Amino acid sequence: MWSVVVVAISGSLVLACPAAHAAAEVRVQAGSFVYTMRPDGMTAESWVNRAAGTRLSLGHGSELEVETGDSPESPTRVVLEPDGAPEVARDGGMVVVRLRSADGLLAAAVTYVADAEWPVMRKSVTLSNVGKAPIRLLSVVLGRYAVGNAQLEGGERGFPLYIDQRYFLSLAHPAGFAHAEGREMVLRQYPGATPPSRSPR
């Protein structure tokens, strides 16, 4: 098992999933701030600042990308598919989306949690090897969002990436980067880890 944490968005957050099926939208609401993603394809839709009357499209950006392999020179992109409906906490303060690779060898749990004290949403990802053979994680992207002409400032390892002075992203891991790649905001981490198998031999 391997985990990493992403910290994002300002505002006192409440999570809600309006329908209990895999295609439902998941909305993260923080007073005037609203973050929307779709767990069916694990894509991000938008951030909205209702107080300022602004909307930042995230271009159906990817919420999770994983590459595995024996060498960084020959990575294999893992195809992840929904594994059941989103799990929503009774108080709406947490949503968990579970995924499984098309070959059934890798499982992922993506968790969105509203901080009880601070105006922050925390997104964590846990990857588990559920096959019998070792799997080496080469690269994990915990968010890839096209932002058009939005102004991007800061970023790189250990520093937040600010968007239009209204939103921010940060990756809480020493081997992680929150930075711009062209006109995309990317949260990228290079674990180089080999999660032990959880499958009985």
SS3 76: strand
Residue numbers of the chain with a pLDDT score lower than 70 = 1-24, 27-35, 50-51, 91-93, 115-120, 198-201
Token output for 41: 């394809």
Dist CA 84 CA 87 (whole Å): 9
pTM score, whole prediction: 0.80
At 33 the pLDDT is 59
Q: What percent helix, strand, coil does the chain show, rounded to 5? A: 0, 55, 45
Q: Tell me the per-residue pLDDT of 157-193, one tens digit each, with 9 for 90 and over.
A: 778 888 888 778 888 777 788 888 888 989 988 887 7
At 105 the pLDDT is 92
SS3 149: coil
Q: Within 22-90, where are the H helices?
A: none
At 6 the pLDDT is 43
> Could you tell me the CA-to-CA distances from 7 to 72, 143, 171 in Å, in that order?
27, 11, 6
Which DSSP letter does residue 196 get? Answer: P
At 70 the pLDDT is 87
Dist CA 162 CA 32 (whole Å): 18
At 78 the pLDDT is 93
Q: How far separated are the first and last CA of the chain, in Å rounded?
A: 17
At 118 the pLDDT is 64
At 128 the pLDDT is 92
Residue corresponding to tokens 């929904």: 82
CA 27 to chain centre: 14
Strand partners, 26: 37
